[in-house]
Every structure is written in C-alpha cells, then in structure tokens.
Amino acid sequence: MLYKSTRGKVKNIQFKEAVMMGLAEDGGLLIPQEIPHISSSELIKLSSLSYQELAFELISKFTDDIKRDTLKDIINKSYSTFEISDVIPVVKKGDIYIAEIFHGPTYAFKDIALQFLGNLFEYILEETGQKLNILGATSGDTGSAAIYGVRGKKNINIFILHPKGKVSPIQELQMTTVTDSNVFNLAVDGTFDDCQFIVKKIFSDVDFKKQYSLGAVNSINWARILAQIVYYFHCYFKAAKGEKVNIVVPTGNFGNIFAGYFAKLMGLPINKLILATNENNILSRFVNNGDYSIKSVCETYSPSMDIQIASNFERYLFYLYNSPEKVVEKMNELKTNKKISFTEEDMKIVKDDFASYSTSNDETLSTIKSFYESFNYILDPHTACGVNAANKLGKIELNICLATAHPAKFYDAIYKAIGKFPEEPENIKKLKELPKKLYEIENDTEKVKDFLIEKLS
C-alpha cells in the first residue's frame, strides 16, 4: 500500500515513511492511494475474531513494509495496556448500544490509536536509528494519550500544546504529572485552534521540521485514523446482526468520524454516520446547512470538542471532490475567507453519508441526568452529546453511540447533572498526589519554535 497527499504533490510513499512524515510536505494530509474492499463473506470471517486479531487483519491491508509477526507484536503490545482484554465492551441501554472506547491508560478513546502509534514509532526509530521529536496540540484527551503512548521511550521527545485553563482538571493532571525527561507540556495562552494553528505553521516550515526531526501525533497522522477504523468494525460485529447501522460519533476534529467514513468506504454496512457536536458546531452547521464558517470558540462541558477548525476535514474534502486541485482551492478559500462554500450538489452527497445534531450545555447536563435516571449509567459530557443526537434521530435503525471518555475525567459536569461525583479509577485518584511539570508560553509560533530549539539543543 502506497500513500499520497490530499494536495497532490506527494505520492507513492510507503507506510512507515507516511507514519514518520505525519503532515505531508506539501501541507496536505496523507491518505492511502487505494481503498481496500471488505466483501460480505470476509465480513463474516472477521466477525469472529478478537479485537487484536481484527486489528491485525485490517491494519495489515494498509501496511506491506512491516513483517507480519512484527505487526502482530506491535498490536498485541499496544492493547495489553487496556483494562479489558477485549479492549472495547459494547453495552445495550434501552434502544441504543454504547461502545465504551475509553478503557485505555488515560481513560479516553485516543488511547486506542496512540498506544499503537507510540509502539509503531519506537519500532521504526529502532530499525532506522533515527530520532523523533513529536509536536502536537490537544483540546484535552489527545495530549495525555500521546504522552502515555511515548513516555520513557528511546529516541523520542514529545512537546504537547494545550490551551491554558481550557482542558478539564483531570485532563491537565494526566498530562502535567508525567515528569519523564522526554515529555514537555506547554500551556498556551489561547484556544485549542490557536495551538493547532501553531503546530501546523511549524510543520509547514519544511526546513525547520527536517532540522529538528519533527513528527506528528495528532490525528493528521494517518496511523491514528487507521487504528480507529478497527473499532468501527468491532462495534458493528458486537451489536449488529447483519443489518445496516447508524453510528453516532461525538467529534470536533473530524478524525474520529472520518475513520468511520473510511470504514464505510471499505464496505462496512453503515447507513449513516451521525456527527454529534456541542455548541462549537461548525461541523453540524456544515452537514445541515453547508455552512463551514469559522466562529469564535466557546467553552463547554465537553472541552475536547471545543474546536472550530477541524484538521481532518481536508481528508473528507478529498473524497468529496476526488481532486487535489479542488482541495487546495477549498483550503485556500478557508484561509482567506474563514469559510468554505458548498454547492447544493455537494451537500446532497454529504447528506447521504452524514446527519448531525449539536447539543447545548443545558442539554448535555439534562441528557446525563435522564440517562442516569433511566439506566443507572453515567455518560461523560462528550458521549452525552452523542446520546442526545441519537435521541433526536429516533429509533429508525439500530444505533451505536461511541462513548469517548470515562465520566470521572469530567467530574464537575457530572456533579452538576446528577448531584454526585462519578467513581474514580484508582489510577486517576493517584494523579492528585503526584508532582507536576508544566511550561507556560505565549500564543506565538516563534516563541514555541524558540522553546523547541532550546530544549533540543
């Protein structure tokens, strides 16, 4: 399998090179040059596999430059850190299936991709004798999951930017209590979109990127999307009996739902992907009204979705238009006008694949409360946005909602909703007693560059 850029100037690169490149050198995002197709007979065979076996069968379709036994070892090592041997339990609550994709080391779905990516990086670096300096931005869960994926690993440093005071207290603790010498947490005086802009601006400086061996761990890295594709198949096999399903996905950066979109392109029988957002609803406005215009970010109870610029949206644009020239045109339009325009014909295609609902802060709390009263089950605020979207959709087809984080990571919102705190896992309780390491920095690309230069020299 070879990879190419959404912007057309990078192509014919191997999987391992794509992993290390992260953002394509023409500023685009990397995608496979072909889409592997899963037949109905192969679906039946895959349905009986364990999560680890399923991951191997699907991921190996995208990797032909890693030996099969090595890939199996990487996958098995990645999911040995999860609390549940089958990785993702799927539970039925009323008319909806809840897929708990948060049982990794940091209790967020990002662990599924980032445990895999961390081990993949370690293998490639050991094989090539290279060093890697990861630079990423987080709205909450990506940062801690990335840090836990690479902490203490040889030949890797990690620099994570987060918006100061705009992630949950537990999310901040999970990042800042990792004091390994290869981990650097930067609190930026701005929003997540500011952090993401700084990262993309630094990566677009190709000479700087090469000089300091920078790599991406955000969902711009194809390996993260690849690892996430697996759980769409897994959840389908757990809940469906051969019929088409709707899968409800809380998402702000479009990476989680893009993995589902790609699974559908591969042949997974998904009817619609239901895109659930909070009040930062650029993606809902896009799906419902063709309105992809950047507005200011507001703080919500679901901070991982407090995003206006969805970095994975460019990948969807490529498949919408099947034209790198059109992608470049649309991304330039976004840069210049702070919005992208779509035709009625475009939107007919979009609405065939997606439906979308946004959830207000009040609705988030009321959904947590009503779901708890009905099923004695606590949703985290992001998953509550998904369940609210499923409720608005109604019982038309079988609905699976991805539960993206443990509720204990958002205890203030849970307390407001149900009048009690969720039970904290022991590993979260321990964080409050640990020392912290954190660097505060201005919202300025050059300041971040200077910090990197200082630490890496």
Helical H segments across 80-191, by residue range: 110-128, 141-150, 169-176
Asked if residue 280 lies in contact with residue 298, where contact means CB atoms within 8 angstroms, the answer is: yes
Q: For 355, which DSSP code?
A: E
Residue 389: C-alpha distances to residues 155, 195, 306, 341, 415 (Å): 43, 28, 17, 25, 22
What's the CA angle centered on 138, arms 224 and 403, to 5 degrees? 65
409: three-class secondary structure by DSSP: helix
Residue closest to 428 by CA, chosen among 107, 185, 203, 139: 107
Q: Can you state the angle between helices 192-204 and 445-456, rounded to 10 degrees?
A: 60
Task: For residue 103, give both structure tokens.
Answer: 């049982």
Strand partners, 96: 93, 399
d(CA 356, CA 293): 16
Helical H segments across 290-435, by residue range: 313-321, 324-337, 344-353, 361-375, 381-393, 411-418, 426-429
Which residues make Cβ contacts (< 8 Å) with residue 455, sequence separation at least 6?
157, 159, 184
d(CA 290, CA 386): 21
Asked if residue 233 lies in contact with residue 46, where contact means CB atoms within 8 angstroms, the answer is: yes
Radius of gyration of the chain (CA): 20
Residue closest to 42 by CA, chosen among 271, 270, 267: 267
d(CA 98, CA 394): 15
Place of tokens 């990197």: 452
Return contacts of 72-77, CB within 8 angstroms, 24+ apart.
Answer: 74/116, 74/119, 74/120, 74/123, 75/116, 76/52, 77/119
> Would you name the residues annotated as active-site residues?
110
